[in-house]
């Protein structure tokens, strides 16, 4: 696998070669301006999601076209390559020729895991849990462990999804924030609480360092528990 593990210092701000400055749609000259413009674009994409009359189901979200469309809606006002799969090597991520196949495999695998957990064949009680997981009229006395276990399984699927999106690094830039927005949307359609993403203000050094350390642990050991703990903090 052609990836440089542990190099997360520029997560959300992958170094852009000078020749790609021409890809900026807006007349931006400073990183602060770029960060502000990207944040505005992402917030607009989030507002569009909130205003949807009908949320899609998870199968509709877990497609290659949707993954690219979400990146385009999040960055399309800033970068001309928004929504286009990366065509060059970066300091993190799989080789460009592997991106489409690995991203497609991740999307398919995530759908398969959710299908196995939620589709016909599970008990009616489990279906009621997932439909009302945070606000259920069910009498949970003696059954709370079932609710907890199913929610825990969903959280494991979501945190693995978020981690591998960044690991693949499908786009030239914006992969970290895109992966968190994508995972938030999946949580919404699954009707479970979103991750707090370490309360998210990643320009605070302590919070950013905790995230970086949890990702490095996952890289070197395959253990996502530290990343999950950070995401739920």
Domains assigned to the chain: 24-195 (1.10.3290.10)
Q: Can you give the pLDDT at residue 226? A: 94
Count other C-beta atoms under 10 Å from residue 100's C-beta.
Answer: 14
- CB of 76 within 8 A of CB of 41? yes
Q: Can you give the pLDDT at residue 205? A: 76
Q: Can you give the pLDDT at residue 30? A: 77
Q: Can you give the pLDDT at residue 117? A: 86
Per-residue tokens: 222: 């395959």
Per-residue tokens: 76: 């399309």
Q: Can you give the pLDDT at residue 17? A: 53
**Nearest alpha-carbon partner for 170 in 28, 31, 65:** 65
User: For residue 18, how far is the Cα from the chain centroid?
Assistant: 28
- The packing angle between helices 64-75 and 31-50, to 10°, is 130
Percent helix, strand and coil across the chain, each rounded to 5? Answer: 60, 0, 40
Tens-level pLDDT at each residue, the chain (233 residues): 233 333 444 444 444 456 667 898 988 877 778 888 999 999 999 999 999 989 999 999 999 999 999 999 999 999 999 999 999 998 889 999 999 999 999 999 999 999 988 875 544 444 554 555 444 444 434 444 545 588 899 999 999 999 999 999 999 999 999 999 999 999 999 999 999 998 766 667 787 888 889 999 999 999 999 999 999 98
Q: Can you give the pLDDT at residue 1? A: 29
Alpha carbons 97 and 199: distance in angstroms, whole number? 35
């Amino acid at each position: 696998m052609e990836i440089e593990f542990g190099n997360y210092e520029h997560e959300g701000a992958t170094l852009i070669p000078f020749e790609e400055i021409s890809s900026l749609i807006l007349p931006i000259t400073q990183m602060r301006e770029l960060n502000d413009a990207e944040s505005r674009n992402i917030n607009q994409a989030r507002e569009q999601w909130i205003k949807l009359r009908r949320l899609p189901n998870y199968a509709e979200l877990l497609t290659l076209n949707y993954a690219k469309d979400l990146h385009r809606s999040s960055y399309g006002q800033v970068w001309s390559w928004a929504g286009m799969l990366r065509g060059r090597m970066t300091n993190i991520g799989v080789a460009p020729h592997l991106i489409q196949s690995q991203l497609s495999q991740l999307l398919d695998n995530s759908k398969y895991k959710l299908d196995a957990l939620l589709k016909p064949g599970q008990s009616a009680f489990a279906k009621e849990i997932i439909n009302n997981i945070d606000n259920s009229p069910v009498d949970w006395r003696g059954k709370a462990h079932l609710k907890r276990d199913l929610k825990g399984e969903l959280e494991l699927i979501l945190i693995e999804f978020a981690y591998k999106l960044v690991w693949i690094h499908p786009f030239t830039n914006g992969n970290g924030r895109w992966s968190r927005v994508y995972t938030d949307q999946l949580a919404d359609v699954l009707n479970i609480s979103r991750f707090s993403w370490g309360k998210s203000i990643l320009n605070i050094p302590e919070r950013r360092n905790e995230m970086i350390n949890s990702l490095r642990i996952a890289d070197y050991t395959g253990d996502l528990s530290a990343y999950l703990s950070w995401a739920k903090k």
